[in-house]
Amino acid sequence: MIGIFDSGVGGLTVVKEVKKKLPGYDLIYFGDTARVPYGNKSAELIKQYALEDAQFLLSRGAKLIIVACNTASAVALDYLRANISVPVFGVIQPALQAALEMTQNNRVGVIGTRATVNSGAFQKCLLALQGPDNSIDNRDVQKPAFMRKRSVKNHSLIKKTKLFFQAAPLLVPLIEENYLDRPETARILKHYLQPLKAEQIDTLILGCTHYPIIQSLIEKKLKQVKVINSAERVSQELKDFLGHNQSIDRSLAKRREARFFVSDLTPHLTDIAKQFLGQRINLEVVEL
């Protein structure tokens, strides 16, 4: 089945999109709520946690893995691909490819956790796309063929693209406290978006699974700016991949079953999960 993990329940925004794009496919989700959040932790620790998360999904029968967590995708994707033997999809590259397709002025903003922004992962991914053969890192054997070949946009335009970053660490707690319509959130959001606005970005990547919840607020503050939700893009990429990889597609169960695991459970968490997925689900607790 398809395995999806995140540091918490924010990755359910990815589950929602995968269910839309690939209805019927069995899913297994893991949220590492015993150790959430990852965004303020060190790269070494995030790698260790991400590998443990992935290994749990493999032990439960996952045949491919989506790293829904932007922090883990930014910091631990290469590490995961080097250490596990099924295809691993991160959310950084799909979001960046979408941005490169959409931007007109080649000025793209990224908001995310401190760890995501400091990781340099978006910049590294952009540099690979800007490279002479217009491909992402050729040494990367895990990467499906269509990704290596696909030309995102006219190469000379990609060469010109610049990224502008903003760490936005208060957005996750504000969203988890359901502070969506409050003036404090509007003000903090403005504080985070102002520097990106000043750089005249025309495209913004939501570099955290929590942010789609406040996408409309962000769009209101950044009129004319296209906002990219990576959950949607990674789901499309997975669908394309399965179209090109029939043997893997055939190995995936399609009984419309989904199971959701977390490493810790509180009543508040159940409420947040509902907010992300749009429906109440049964969260099962496991110890890693």
State the catalytic residues. 69, 208
**Closer residue to a second copy, CB minimum distance, 96 or 189:** 189
Number of C-alpha atoms within 13 angstroms, CB side, residue 269?
A: 21
Give, in order, the Cα–Cα distances in Å from 220 to each of 17, 45, 189, 217: 23, 36, 11, 5
Greatest pairwise CA separation for the chain in angstroms: 52
Give, in order, the Cα–Cα distances in Å from 20 to each of 15, 154, 233, 283: 9, 30, 12, 21
**Closer residue to a second copy, CB minimum distance, 257 or 271:** 271
Query: Which residues from 129-188 bind a second copy, rule CB under 8 A?
Result: 169-170, 173-174, 176-177, 179, 183-184, 187-188
Take residue 193 and report the two structure tokens written for it.
Answer: 């978006």
Q: Name the minimum Å distance from CB 10 to a second copy.
A: 14
**Closer residue to a second copy, CB minimum distance, 115 or 126:** 115
Take residue 110 and report the two structure tokens written for it.
Answer: 């990224």
Site string for a second copy, 183-222 (x = CB under 8 A): xx--xx----------------------------------
Beta-sheet strand order (sheet of 258-262): 88-89, 64-67, 2-6, 27-31, 258-262, 283-285
Site membership for a second copy, residue 34 (CB under 8 A)? yes
Binding residues for a second copy, total number by CB under 8 A: 25
Q: Which residues bind a second copy (CB under 8 A)?
A: 33-35, 40-42, 45, 114-115, 169-170, 173-174, 176-177, 179, 183-184, 187-188, 264-266, 268-269
